[in-house]
Amino acid sequence: MKYLSYSVLASALLMSGVSHATNTITFTGSITDVTCDVKLVDAAGKVLGADGTGTVALIPVPATELSGAGSTAQQTQFSIVASNCALGTPAKTKMAAYFTSSHADNLGYLDNTVGTGAATKVQFELLDSKLNQIKVNDPAQSTGIVTTDIVEDGDTVMDYYVQYYSAAGGATSGDVSSTVNYELVYP
């Protein structure tokens, strides 16, 4: 009787795998032929990176400005400027930047990557031109993205902001640094 029970149980377990339906996933996308020259500039128009890569330096702030939970400080504007855009076929009319980073937490804030001498309890927060948080690495970033009209015979300027952010408050003094990657998208 014992052997019969084990046989029935084994058969039931094996058959449970057979009862699942086969499902299909379809992937779709498109390849664009849009290209642009890109540079990074600060709020005064100073070029920070002629090839689109550069450093945005925030002014130091006292730790007391980041003492409360959810506190922010030193909102700093930067712009991604695209020019000489070949608009592709069919012609694209809008663009935006999509941000990713291996240093972002699960809420989209950029973690401090400084080792020795680092400030603690502080991150960077990216904001779009309407001062809404950009959640770095969040797939929803592409659906709620703020787009900019492409200027065919001039500069297309996409304004963004970065600021210090302390989720818990109680930031300590020290250096803060992080990196983010971006790619231009044409929604």
Q: What is the pLDDT of residues 131-157, one digit of tens each?
A: 999 999 998 876 778 899 999 889 999
Domain assignment present for 92: yes
Q: Which of 160, 187, 165, 185 is nearest to 176 (CA)?
A: 165
d(CA 127, CA 145): 11
pLDDT tens figures, 74-131: 999 999 999 998 888 888 899 999 999 999 999 999 999 999 999 999 999 999 999 9
Residue 122: inside a domain: yes
Q: In the predicted model, is pLDDT for residue 19 greater than 60?
A: no
**95 in a domain, yes or no?**
yes
Sheet with 123-127: strands ordered across = 47-49, 35-42, 71-86, 156-166, 123-127, 133-134
| Rounded Cα–Cα distance for residues 94 and 134 (Å) | 18
Strongest mean pLDDT among 21-25, 29-33, 80-84: 80-84
Residue 9 inside a domain? The answer is no
Domain that includes residue 88, residue range: 33-185
pLDDT at 35: 84
Helix (H) or strand (E) holding 16: helix 2-18
Which residues, including other chains, have CB under 8 Å from residue 187's CB and lie 6 or more apart? 94, 96, 142, 145, 147
Q: How many domains would you assign to the chain?
A: 1
Identify whether 174 is part of a domain: yes
What is the pLDDT of the chain when averaged over all its residues? 87
pLDDT of residue 132: 93
> Is residue 39 predicted with pLDDT exceeding 60?
yes
Q: Is the pLDDT of residue 15 over 90?
A: no
User: Across-strand partners of 80?
Assistant: 40, 158
Q: Is the pLDDT of residue 22 over 70?
A: yes
Task: Please report whether residue 20 resides in a domain.
Answer: no
Q: Which helix (H) or strand (E) is 81 found in, with range?
A: strand 71-86
Q: Residue 76 maps to which CATH number?
A: 2.60.40.1090
pLDDT over 90, % of the chain: 67
Residue 16 falls inside a structural domain: no
Q: Is residue 172 part of a domain?
A: yes
CA distance 170 to 67: 4
What is the C-alpha to C-alpha distance for residues 81 and 39, in angstroms, rounded to an integer?
Answer: 5
pTM of the model: 0.81
